[in-house]
Amino acid sequence: MKLFKPFNLDSFLGEAYILGASKVTATDSDYIHIIETNDGITWAPNPQPYSCVVASPKKESKLKGLKSFIAYQLTPSLNNIQVSRRYKHFDWLHERLVEKFCIIPIPPLPDKQISGRYEEQFIERRRLQLQSFVSRVSNHPILSRSDVWLHFLTCTDAKRWKSGKRKAEKDEVIGAAIFSVVQVPEKALDPLQLDSQTEAFGRFVQSFDTAVRTMQSNFAEQVKRQQGPYKRDYQRIGQSFRTLSTAMELLETAPLTRALAHTADTYDQIALLCEDQPRLDFEPMGDLLHDYRGLLASFPDIITVHKGALQKRRELERSATEGKTESNVVIRAQQRTDVVSYTLLAEMSYFHQERVRDYNAAAKIFLQEQIAYYQKIVDHLQSTLSQYKDV
- Which residues bind to its own copies, rule: CB under 8 A? 200, 203-204, 207-208, 210-212, 214-215, 218-219, 221-222, 225, 229, 233, 236-237, 239-241, 243-244, 246-248, 250-251, 254, 256, 259-260, 263, 352, 355-357, 359-361, 363-364, 367-368, 370-371, 374-375, 377-378, 381-382, 384-385, 388-389, 391
Residue 245 half-sphere exposure, CB side, CA atoms within 13 Å? 20
CB of 221 to its own copies, least distance (A): 7
Length of the chain measured in residues: 391
SS3 73: strand
Whole-angstrom distance, CA of residue 169 vs CA of residue 162: 11
CB of 267 to its own copies, least distance (A): 10
Rounded (10°) CA dihedral 178, 179, 180, 183: 110
Whole-angstrom distance, CA of residue 138 vs CA of residue 143: 7
CB of 220 to its own copies, least distance (A): 11
CB of 359 to its own copies, least distance (A): 6
Nearer to its own copies, 77 or 383 (CB): 383
Whole-angstrom distance, CA of residue 62 vs CA of residue 158: 15
Dihedral sign of CA atoms 268, 271, 275, 278 in order: positive
Whole-angstrom distance, CA of residue 320 vs CA of residue 179: 24
Nearer to its own copies, 339 or 348 (CB): 348
SS3 164: helix
CB of 142 to its own copies, least distance (A): 22
List Cα–Cα distances, 223 to 31, 91, 216, 279, in angstroms. Answer: 45, 28, 11, 9
Nearer to its own copies, 247 or 331 (CB): 247
- Which one-letter DSSP state was computed for residue 115? T
Q: Please, are residues 181 and 26 in contact by the beta-carbon 8 Å criterion? A: yes
Nearer to its own copies, 120 or 252 (CB): 252
CB of 208 to its own copies, least distance (A): 4
Nearer to its own copies, 188 or 371 (CB): 371
Phi, psi dihedral angles at 75 (to 5 degrees) = -125, 100
Nearer to its own copies, 155 or 288 (CB): 288
Nearer to its own copies, 52 or 259 (CB): 259
CB of 212 to its own copies, least distance (A): 8
Nearer to its own copies, 33 or 355 (CB): 355
SS3 52: strand
Dihedral sign of CA atoms 277, 279, 283, 285 in order: negative
The type of residue at 115 is S
Whole-angstrom distance, CA of residue 60 vs CA of residue 53: 20
CB of 132 to its own copies, least distance (A): 18
CB of 237 to its own copies, least distance (A): 7
Residue 15 CB neighbours (<10 A): 14
Q: How far is it between the farthest Cα atoms of the chain?
A: 107
Nearer to its own copies, 92 or 208 (CB): 208
